[in-house]
Structure 1
Amino acid sequence: MDNTVVDLETLQALYENRAQDDEMESIKKHMKSSKDKEDAKPLDKPEQFLFQLCQIPNFSERVFCILFQSTFHECITSILRKIEILQRVCKTLQTGKCVLQVLGLVLAFGNFMNGGNRSRGQADGFTLDILPKLKDVKSSDNSQSLLSYIVAYYLRHFDEDAGRETCVYPLPEPQDLFQASQMKFEDFQRDLRKLRKDLNACSAETEKVCKLSSEENLQPFKDKMDEFLSQAKTELETQEKQLADTQKIFLELSVSFSVKPKAGEKEVSPNTFFSIWHEFSTDFKDQWKKQNKLMLQERVKMAEDCFKQAREKASYNVKPKHATGIKAKLGQKM
C-alpha cells in the first residue's frame, strides 16, 4: 500500500502484463513435469517473473483495488469540477443582477427602435437567438453597432467601477459558457455509473482478499481499503445527487428563457442553450474591453487636465499694491 516503493505506473504495467489463467497453467505444468528431470530446461526470465508474481497472495485482486483507489479521486474530482462550472453559470444567468440589467437594456432599446410598430414596439420579452445578432444591427452612419451602444450605456449608467481595474465583467465568462456548452448529462450519468460499477467490483475484490488472506497478510490492506470504500461510497452518492439537482436547475433555466429543444432532442441540451450565450458573451466582452479602455483614457485625460489647472493656478504671482495716496506720503516723511 506504499506507492513510494512501487509507483502506480509500474503497478499498472504489472497488472496489465500479469499471467492469465492459461499461461499460469502452462508454467505450473512445465515446472511439475521437469521437477525430477536432470536435463529439464529451466523457465525463462519472463516466465520466472510471472510465476513469482503469482506467489503474492491475491496479487490480481489486491492490485485492482489499489489502482482503483488511486484513480477514483481523480475521476470524481473531474466530474465535480465540471458540474460546479455548470451550476455557477446557471445560477448567474438565473439570478445575476448584472445579467438582468443587460437583458433589460436589450429589451428597452429593442422596443425603442421598434417604437413605430405596434406589434413589436411594446414587447414583454424576446427570444435568446436575438442576442448574437445585436452586433449586426448598425447605426445610420455605420459607426457603431447596437451591441456597442448597449455596452457603453451599461458601463456609464450601471457600473460605478467602469474604466477602473476593479470593473467586473457582468456576464458569465465566455470560457465557462463554452465548457458548459460541451457538457452532456448523459456523459456524466455514464461516468458515474461506471464508477459505481467499479466501486462495487472493488468492494467485492476487497472482501475476497480479506476472506482468503492469512492474518499476517491482511494488514494494512484491510483497514486502508475499508476506509477508502466507505469514503468513496459517500462521495459517489453526493455526486449523483448533485448531478440530479444540477440537471433540474438547468431544465428550469431553459424553461424560464423559453428555449425549446432542437429537432431530435427530448429535452433542451446544454449545447443548444449555452452556445447562444457563449457567442453573445464573447461579442459582449470584446466591446466591454474597448469601452472600458475608452473610459479609462477619459479618466486619465480628466486627471491630467485637473492637475494642469492646479499647477497653473499655483504659478500665479500676486504683487503687493503700493500705496500712493497723501496718507502714505505723510507716513514716509515721519
Structure 2
Amino acid sequence: MDSIKKHIKSAKGKEDAKPLDKPEQFLFQLSQISNFSERVFCILFQSTFHECITSILRKIEILQKVCKTLQSSKAVLQVLGLVLAFGNFMNGGNRSRGQADGFTLDILPKLKDVKSSDNSQSLLSYIVAYYLRHFDEDAGKETCVYPLPEPLDLFQASQMKFEDFQRDLRKLRKDLNACSAETEKVCKLSSEENLQPFKDKMDEFLNRAKTELETQENQLAGTQKIFLELSVSFSVKPKAGEKEVSPHTFFSIWHEFSTDFKDQWKKQNKLILQERVKMAEESFKQARQKASYNVTPKHATGIKAKLGKKI
C-alpha cells in the first residue's frame, strides 16, 4: 500500500505517468473503505462460524445417539442378557463363576474366540442366531433392524475427546467476542452513509451466533454427563493416566463387539431368509401337487346297478 500510494502521489499531474495495473487499482480501492481490515475480519468470521459450529454439533449428536442407545435400548439389554445367561450356563459346574450377576465389558470382544467342541461355531454366532430366532420377529426380512449401535458410529465416538470439543468452543467464544468488539469499533468510527448494511447484518449474526454457541456449550455439558453416567452403569473404570473414562476407552470395546456382531447378524439373517424361501417353495410345490390330483369316480357294474338303471 505504501508503494501504491507513493506511485499515485508521484504520478499526479504527469501526462506520461504509468497507470496502476488492475490488481493494484483494486487493492487501492479496497483501502479507501473505512475500517477495511476490521470489516473483513468480521465478514470472514461470519462465513466460517456456521461451518465450525455445525461440525461440532454433528459429532456431539453422534455421541448422544450412541450413548442413548446403549443406555435405554431394549434390544441392547436383550443381547447383554443372553451373554450373561449363556455365560452362566457354560460355567454351571463352577460355583463361583456359574451364578454371576454381571460381567465386565472387555468380555464382549472375546465371545468370537469361544468355540464349540467341534469348532464349527463360536459363542458369538450362537448368541446372534438365538437372538434373531427368539427375540426378533422381523429376522430374515428387510424390516429387520440391527439391535446394536452401528460400528461406524461407535468408531467415530471412540475417536472423540471432550477436551477437543471444549477447546474448539472456547476458540469460537474468543473469536466471537473479538468479532463483537470489531463490529462495535466499525460502527463507532464509520460515517452514517458507510454504516449500513454492515451494522444490521452483523448485529443479526452476532445475536444468532451467541445463542447457538450457548446452546452448543450446554449440549456438550449434558452429553458429557450422560456419557459419564453410562460408563458408571457399565462399571467401566478409567485407564492408567486418565482422570475420567474417555470415549476411546469405552467405545473401542463396543466398536469391536458391534463389528463382530454385525458380521454374524448378516450371515444369520441370510440363513433365515434362505430357510423361509425354501419353506415357501415347498408349500407352493405341495399346493400345486394337490391341485393337480383328481379323483376319478368308480362306475358300478354289478347286478344291483343294472336293475337300478332299468327301474
TM-score range, shorter chain: over 0.9
Deviations 1:277-312 (A, max 9, x none): 000000000000000000000000000111111011
Q: Which moved more, 1:192-201 or 1:42-51?
A: 42-51
RMSD between superposed Cα atoms in Å? 1.8
Deviations 1:112-141 (A, max 9, x none): 111111111111111100000000000000
Deviations 1:30-61 (A, max 9, x none): 65566578887776665444322201222212
Identify unmatched segments of 5+ residues in structure 2: none
Distance in 1 of aligned mates of 2:197 and 2:117: 78
Matched positions, count: 311
Distance in 1 of aligned mates of 2:19 and 2:302: 134
Structure 1 residue matching 2:215: 3-state secondary structure:
helix
Deviations 1:192-218 (A, max 9, x none): 111111111111111111112222222
Q: TM-score, normalised by structure 2?
A: 0.94
Structure 2 residue matching 1:157: 3-state secondary structure:
helix
User: In the superposition, relative to structure 1, how do residues 37 and 322 fare at CA in structure 2: closer, same or farther (>3 Å)?
Assistant: closer
Aligned match of 1:19: none
Alpha-carbon shift at residue 328 of structure 1 (Å): 2.3
Alpha-carbon shift at residue 189 of structure 1 (Å): 0.6
User: In the superposition, relative to structure 1, how do residues 201 and 332 fare at CA in structure 2: closer, same or farther (>3 Å)?
Assistant: same
State yes or no: 1:141 paired with 2:123.
no
Distance in 2 of aligned mates of 1:241 and 1:221: 30
Q: Which moved more, 1:35-44 or 1:272-281?
A: 35-44
Distance in 2 of aligned mates of 1:93 and 1:124: 19
Q: Which moved more, 1:93-102 or 1:63-72?
A: 63-72
Alpha-carbon shift at residue 221 of structure 1 (Å): 1.3
User: In the superposition, relative to structure 1, how do residues 326 and 194 fare at CA in structure 2: closer, same or farther (>3 Å)?
Assistant: same
Distance in 2 of aligned mates of 1:220 and 1:282: 54
Distance in 2 of aligned mates of 1:309 and 1:40: 102
State yes or no: 1:266 paired with 2:266.
no
Alpha-carbon shift at residue 324 of structure 1 (Å): 3.1
Distance in 1 of aligned mates of 2:25 and 2:254: 62
Deviations 1:151-191 (A, max 9, x none): 00101110011111111000000000000000010111111
Q: Among all aligned residue pairs of Structure 1 and Structure 2, give the percentage whose two residues are the same amino acid.
A: 92
Distance in 2 of aligned mates of 1:91 and 1:218: 48
Distance in 2 of aligned mates of 1:286 and 1:49: 61
Alpha-carbon shift at residue 321 of structure 1 (Å): 2.2
Deviations 1:197-254 (A, max 9, x none): 1111111111111112222222111111111111110000000000000000001101
Distance in 2 of aligned mates of 1:97 and 1:36: 85
Distance in 2 of aligned mates of 1:301 and 1:188: 53
Distance in 2 of aligned mates of 1:312 and 1:36: 109
Structure 2 residue matching 1:115: 3-state secondary structure:
coil
